[in-house]
Chain A
Amino acid sequence: MNARVLALVALAVPLLGCGAPVASSNAETPWLHVRIEEPGKRSRVHLNLPMPAVEAALKAAPDSIAVDGGIPLGGDMNLDRFRRLWKGLETTGDAEIIKVEQGDAHQNVSKKDGRLLIHMRNDRESKTVDMDVPGAVVDALFSGAGQELKIRAAVAHLRAVRGDVVCAYERDASVRIWIDESAGAPEGN
């Protein structure tokens, strides 16, 4: 073997051996999508994350968070009282949990087909929040006590969720969070 061939082989072998194989992706992996748009500020945030990555990231987060004070539902509602209301509906079918009509403010919290639906609207501020959370996720969130929300337990159940989880609109901003099986398709430059 002459020196030129030897040199070529020597150059080629390490170059060919470079890239490590990457695990093949599963087409049914759920993806969490977040869209935050504020057209007035020419600002938008788009996130598309595979759920296994979200779950891995949450391992670094606390297992649960404590909600200080009240929650923005039903006036004087606190988390513990809301948890008891939700648990009280375990054996019932569809039900309205909270309904508030106060001037321009409207709140409707209900259980429908085992899901927790929250609708909040303020006509004066052109603000609307819609949440549609599967019962299993709510149960996991409320699996703690007192003012505690079990975040990691809830995220584990999100793997089975498909569709919108949170939609919130203000006059000049919108937030949408949903889960499906599509990756974030490249959006061009």
Chain B
Amino acid sequence: MWLRVAKVLASIAVVLGVVVAATGVMVVDVKKPDGTRLVVPMPLLLVQAAAPLAPTQAAAAGIERQVARVRRYLPAAEEVLAAVAGSRDSDLARVDKGDEHVRVRKVGDSLHIRVESPRKKVELNVPFELARRALDRARDGPLSPADLVALLRHSRLTQLADVDDGGDHVKITIW
């Protein structure tokens, strides 16, 4: 009888593992200046399910306001993205002004964006597939936070963001 219970528990664990592996995990890694480290793995499916319940109306409205202003340019933006995605790896843009530096590079199938100033360092890796789907989705209407989370499934094995503001150091990785 105990063997049967163990088998049932094991199969539940396997099914959960399959679901989590298939839908992805977002890992948020926060390092505080005092040395405290917090690593929070969150299954994307759970984040996506929780997103509509979170108080994100203001954020969603903000996103929609920005997207609405540029919606008519989205088809051209998709073409630009496709052209860049199909090109060789390169430094696409580099802007230096005093101690502030912005660099945009095409590396493999991602766009790497790095912004550096004496007080802050931000690195973003945006897979072209993620950007393409986001633009495609934005053409059809308002993008909700849940939509954005769902799109993260197309960024597997990517360190999406690395933000160091001199205090907290936050890394977001999708597995």
The answer on A and B forming one complex is yes
| A residues at B contact (CB < 8 Å) | 3, 6-7, 10-11, 13-15, 18-20, 22-25, 27, 29, 31, 41-50, 52-53, 55-57, 59-60, 183-187
Contact A48 B92 (CB under 8 A): yes
A15 in contact with B76 (CB, 8 Å): no
Number of interface residues of B (CB under 8 A): 44
Say yes or no: A50 contacts B83, CB within 8 Å. yes
Please, how many angstroms separate the alpha-carbon atoms of A14 and B25 in the complex?
A: 12
Besides A19-B127, A45-B93, A183-B88, 15 other A-B contacts (C-beta < 8 A): A3-B10, A3-B14, A7-B14, A14-B24, A22-B109, A25-B87, A42-B98, A46-B91, A46-B93, A47-B92, A48-B91, A50-B83, A50-B87, A184-B90, A184-B91
- CB neighbours of A46 from chain B (8 A): 91, 93-95
A71, B117: Cα distance in complex, Å: 40
Are B157's CB and A15's CB within 8 A?
yes
Chain B neighbourhood of A3, CB < 8 A: 10-11, 13-14
Judged by a CB distance under 8 angstroms, whether B129 is at the interface is yes
Partner of B83 from A10, A52, A187 at Cβ < 8 Å: A52
Chain B residues near A184 (CB, 8 Å)? 90-92
Tell whether B97 is near chain A: CB-to-CB under 8 Å.
yes
**Closest Cβ neighbor of B74 among chain A residues:** A60
Residues of B close to A6: CB separation below 8 A = 14
Q: Which residues of A contact B105 (CB under 8 A)?
A: 186
| Contact (Cβ within 8 A) A42 B90 | no
Within the complex, what minimum Cβ distance (angstroms) separates A30 from chain B? 11
Residue among A14, A31, A41 making CB contact with B156, cutoff 8 Å: A14
- Which residues from chain A contact B62 at a C-beta distance below 8 Å? none
Residues of B within 8 A of A55 (CB): 83
Of residues 7 to 31 in B, which have CB atoms within 8 Å of A's CB atoms?
10-11, 13-14, 17-18, 21-24
Partner of B89, one of A15, A41, A183: A183
Query: In the complex, how many angstroms separate the beta carbon of A109 from the nearest chain B beta carbon?
Result: 32
Distance of A52 Cα from B80 Cα, bound (Å)? 7
Near A by CB (< 8 A), chain B positions 57-93 give 72-73, 75-77, 79-80, 82-93
Residues of A within 8 A of B17 (CB): 7, 10-11
User: What residues of B have a CB within 8 angstroms of the CB of A45 in the complex?
Assistant: 93-95
Shortest CB–CB separation between residue A22 and chain B, in angstroms? 5
Q: How many angstroms from the CA of A57 to the CA of B23 in the assembled complex?
A: 34
Whether B14 lies near A185 (C-beta < 8 A) is: no
Q: Given the interface contacts A22-B109, A43-B96, A43-B98, does A186 sit within 8 Å of B91 by beta carbon?
A: yes
